[in-house]
Amino acid sequence: MTIEAIAVDIDGTITDEKRRICISAIESLRKAEAKGIPTIIVTGNVVNYAYATEVLIGCSGGLVAENGGVVFKEGENNDAVETLVERAFVTSAEKHLKEKLGDKFDKHASHDNIYRLTETVFYKTLSEKELKDALKDFEFLDEIEIYDSGFALHITDKRVNKGTSLKYLCERNGINMENVMAIGDGHNDEDFLKQVGYRIAVGNAEDKLKEISTYTCKNTFGDGVAEAIEKFAL
C-alpha cells in the first residue's frame, strides 16, 4: 500500500462530539507529515478556521473548505484563497429563504456566514425538513445541494463538492487520487471518500459512509483517525 497523502475532515473526525481536537489524531498526523505524507484538510468549515487547524496541527497539503467551494495551499495561486464557484445560486437561495422563513432566517443562520465565500449555513436548531420545505418552490433548486454536516445544515452550489475540489488540489500537486487515504464521518464526506483509493470511516461515522468505505475504524473520532494512520500510513 502506497499512501501519497491523507485527506481528513475536521468536525466529528479529528474532533470529538464537543469539537475538541483529539491529541491522538494530532500526533499521528504529525508522524505522517514527518514521514513525508502531507495532510489535506477537507471541511465544510470556513477557510480561516480550516487554515488555523492546518497550521496548529502542522499539515502541509493545503485545504478544501466550504464543502468544496474554496481551496487554499501556501505557495500556490499567489498565496490567495481560491473560490471554485460563483455564489449566484446560493445568494438567490438566501433571498428566497429570507422571504419564506422571515425572522427564523436570522435566528437560525450561522454566525460565520459573514466569512463564507460560496455557501450559507444554518444551525441545526432549524430542522432539515423545514429548510427543504422552504426551498420547494425555489427557482434554482436543481442547482443547489443541502448537506447535513452533523453540526450544521449547508446550502452549496452543486457544481462543487469536497470530492471535486480535493481532486483539483491533488492533481495540481501531482498526487494520484488512488494513493490518497480519505477519512471522514458524515454525509458531506461521501463525495471525497468516493474519489480516493483508500476510504476510511471513523467508528462514529454514519452507516452510509461505512458502507462505501474500504475500512471502518474500531475507534471513534480522532482515535479512529490515529488508528487508520498507524495501520495504513506509518
Residues designated as active site: 9
Quote the CA–CA distance of 99 and 192 in Å, as a whole number. Answer: 34
**Amino acid making up residue 161:** N
- Helical pair 221-232 and 23-34, crossing angle rounded to 10 deg: 30
Q: Which of 48, 49, 47 is nearest to 19 (CA)?
A: 49
Quote the CA–CA distance of 101 and 23 in Å, as a whole number. Answer: 41
- Helical pair 88-101 and 128-135, crossing angle rounded to 10 deg: 100
* Helix ranges, 82-179 (H): 88-101, 103-108, 128-135, 162-172
Quote the CA–CA distance of 210 and 112 in Å, as a whole number. Answer: 30
Quote the CA–CA distance of 219 and 188 in Å, as a whole number. Answer: 20
Q: Provide the b/e sequence for 164-180 (b: ≥16 CB within 10 Å).
A: bbbbbbbeeeebebebb
221 membership: H or E segment, kind and range: helix 221-232
